[in-house]
Every structure is written in structure tokens, then in C-alpha cells.
Amino acid sequence: MRFEFATAGRILFGCGCLGEAAPLARAWGRQALVVTGAHPERAEPLQHLLQAAGMTCTFFPVAGEPTVDHVRQGAAAARAAGAEVVLSFGGGSALDAGKAIAALMTNPGELLDYLEVIGRGQPLTVPPAPFLAIPTTAGTGTEVTRNAVLASPEHRVKVSLRSPLLLARVAVVDPELTRDLPPSLTATTGMDALTQLIEPYVSCRANPLVDALCEEGLRRVGRALRRAFAHGQDLDARTDMALASLFSGMALANAGLGAVHGFAAPLGGSFAAPHGAVCAALLPHVMRINLQAADTRAPQRAVRARYQIVARLLTQNPAAEAEDGIRWVQELCRDLGIPPLRTYGLRPEHFAEISEKAAQASSMKANPLPLTPQERLAILEAAY
């Protein structure tokens, strides 16, 4: 047995821990670039804390999912402001953008020098500017991952800037910041967290440390996601989901993902669809096809046993079988109002191209076993 585990340099978790962000950031300098979502006014509590600590803030909002151009513009804004530290306050988009901006501030050359698939894929060689991640959703786990997912509209694909150097210096996870998330965003981000707990757990790269995180995270999603969706001010449910999301990020960063995220990359690059909603629409169908493929082609591997444990953790039924877990996920998608992929413009004539792009995605390499073209098409047909 051999594995590696890496995560953020420091993790602060708990209600009210946002108050600790400013003194940490002040240790790295006085000038801060604060990367937010489309509404920077939501970061006013952080702004007040930073100003009280003697810091000057320059805000850089990212509307929608981050693009290659967002990162270029953000790095230019940081340099113009003399920023010494980057803080991201928001969902996965703000966190991914902040990570990439911090890296581009210090590394020579152009962003495409370092991007996978559409770029030259060169490694980052210089540590990024100090980066502090503050998630305000419970789903992506981006605060503890070593990659930043960026869209390239001209290539119609999402790609990663990936390096161990991208791990945040500090992740500040305050569940109180998620209490006002609307139900729709609670649903899609929560389903992203669920996917990121299941895929590393059944991954061909799974390891015992990741297993423990996934099992605890699945227990919490199983009991909390519906409650957080229906009762947004339920702080116990929000805390469970924030912790599950954190665990999902730690898991995917150290054991990879799978076919759901393999498909999500080209789908997100080609259609205006929320990442979590795409993952949710795909998840039960990927589970079913993976299970069938493993039963048929690799029965000696523990894929069925893994999905059985997933089912028992989610349903809280110690006698549940793997298929019960798939049904539980399907029912959850129905209860949360997850729409099919056709909602976002996907059509049968797109299936072949999406399938081939998914086969080349880095996430697909960690799937429990390789999927055939017929199996990939079956997933798209079922999620359509």
C-alpha cells in the first residue's frame, strides 16, 4: 500500500471562524485582492474585518464560472493594486479564480503555458501569492483542492490549472456563511459534494485515508442535504453539509474523481449549465453503468462492495444493496428538482462528441474501470 495525501496548509472550521481570516491575511501584507462572485457586496463582512486589521482591499468580481480571460484580468488587477495576498470569498468559481490569479501573479509567461488540454501543461515553478480561501457554498470543496477549473469559451471546454502549489495557505470554512443560500443553489452544490464523495470512494485510486473522509461525509449528506434544502436556516444541517463539502474536496484532491466529472468538463464547456446540476443529472446513471460494467468485466474487484457501502451510509439501512443506493440518489434528485440534461440544450446529435471528449478528460482516468463507447453513450441517453 502506497499513497499520498496533501491538503491546505491550515484549515479553520466552525461557526464564526470568518473572524480569524483578517489577522491571518495581515501576516502576509497590507494590500489584498479579494475575489468574489458576481455580487461583491456580499463580502462586506470580510471587507470590514480586513480594514479593521489595517489592510486595503481591491475587489475583483467573477460573474458566472471563471474563464481564462477572468484569470488574466484578475492577475493584471492584482499587479496594478500592488496586491500581496489573494483572498477568495464565494462559491467554487470565486475560489478557482482566486487560486489561478495567485499563481499567475508570481509565475512567468502566459496562462496557457500552464493549462492542461488547451495549453502547454508546463508545471508551475514559483509558489503563488499567499492565498486564503473562504467558501460561502457547501459543495465544491475547492478550498482544499490542488487545481483550478477554468472555462475556455473559444475551445468549448473546461480545463484545469493543476499543481500542488495551488493548495491554499489557509481554508476558512464557516457554516454560517451558507445559511442564506437559496434552495436551488443548496441543491446543486450539495449534489456536487455528494458526487465528490462517491467518486473518490469507488475510484481506482482510493486509499484508506480518503475512505474515512468519504464515509463520514456520506453519512452527513445522507442526513442533512434534504434538511438544508427545505430549511435553510437549520445550522446543524448547514454544518453537516459544509463539513461534507470540505471532506469531498480533500477526497477528490487525493483519489481523483470519475465518469461524472469526466462528462461534466465537456458539458460545462459546451452548454450554460451549473456544474452541480450537471453532476446530479449524471450521477445515478454513472453509478448504474459502473456497477453493470464491473459486474460484467471486473467482478474480482471491489466495485460492487464499495457501492453497497455507499448505499448503506446514505440510506442508513445496514441491509441495503448497491442498487438501493442508486434508487436513493434518483429519489434525491427528484426531491431537489434536478432537471435532465436536455434542459441545457444537449441534444442526441451532441452525444458522440461529448462522449469522446469525456473519454479524454483527466477525471475519467480515476473511474473504477474504463468505460466503453457504448457505455458512455448509455449514460448520456439516460441523463438526457
State residue 329's pLDDT score. 98
| Rounded Cα distance, 63 and 384, in Å | 27
* DSSP structural state of residue 13: E
Query: What is the model's pLDDT at position 134?
Result: 98
Q: Decide if pLDDT at 348 tops 90.
A: yes
| Interaxial angle between packed helices 322-335 and 183-202, expressed in degrees from 0 to 180 and rounded to the nearest 10 | 160
Chain segment 103-142, per-residue pLDDT in tens: 999 999 999 999 988 889 899 999 999 999 999 999 999 9
* Predicted pLDDT of residue 113: 94
**Which parts of 38-144 are beta strand (E)?**
56-61, 85-90, 131-135
| Angle, helices 351-360/373-383, rounded to nearest 10 degrees | 120
Q: Give the per-residue pLDDT at 279.
A: 97
245 pLDDT tier (thresholds 50, 70, 90): very high
Beta strands 147-152 and 157-162 are antiparallel
Cell of 86: 489573494
d(CA 148, CA 66): 9
pLDDT tier for residue 253 given thresholds of 50, 70 and 90: very high
pLDDT in tens, 289-311: 999 999 999 998 899 999 999 99
What is the spatial distance between Cα 290 and Cα 368, in angstroms, rounded to a whole number?
7
Using a 10 angstrom Cβ sphere, with 0-12 exposed, 13-18 middle and 19 or more buried, the burial of residue 39 is exposed
Distance from first CA to last CA of the chain, Å, rounded? Answer: 40
Task: Specify the pLDDT at position 367.
Answer: 98
Contact call for residues 255 and 203 (beta carbons, < 8 A): yes
DSSP secondary structure string for all residues of 155-192: TTEEEEEE-GGGS-SEEEE-GGGGTT--HHHHHHHHHH
Model confidence at 269: pLDDT above 90:
no
Please give the mean pLDDT across all residues of the chain: 96
Grid cell of 259 as nine digits: 465518469
pLDDT tops 90 at residue 1: no
CA angle 141, 146, 149 (to 5 degrees): 75
Q: 152 by DSSP, 3-state: which?
A: strand
* Separation CA 100–CA 102 (nearest Å): 5
pLDDT given at position 118: 87
How far is 123 from 133, CA to CA, in rounded Å? 22
Are 161 and 102 a contacting pair, CB within 8 Å?
Answer: no
Q: What is the pLDDT of residue 156?
A: 80
Distance from C-alpha of 369 to C-alpha of 294, rounded to nearest angstrom:
7
Give the C-alpha separation, 159 to 152, whole Å.
Answer: 8
DSSP E strand boundaries for 69-126: 85-90
3 state SS of 53:
coil
Q: Provide the percentage of residues in the chain whose pLDDT is more than 70.
A: 100
The pair phi, psi for residue 257, each rounded to 5°, is -120, -125
Q: For residue 219, give the DSSP letter.
A: H
Report the alpha-carbon distance of residue 376 to residue 353 in Å, rounded. Answer: 11
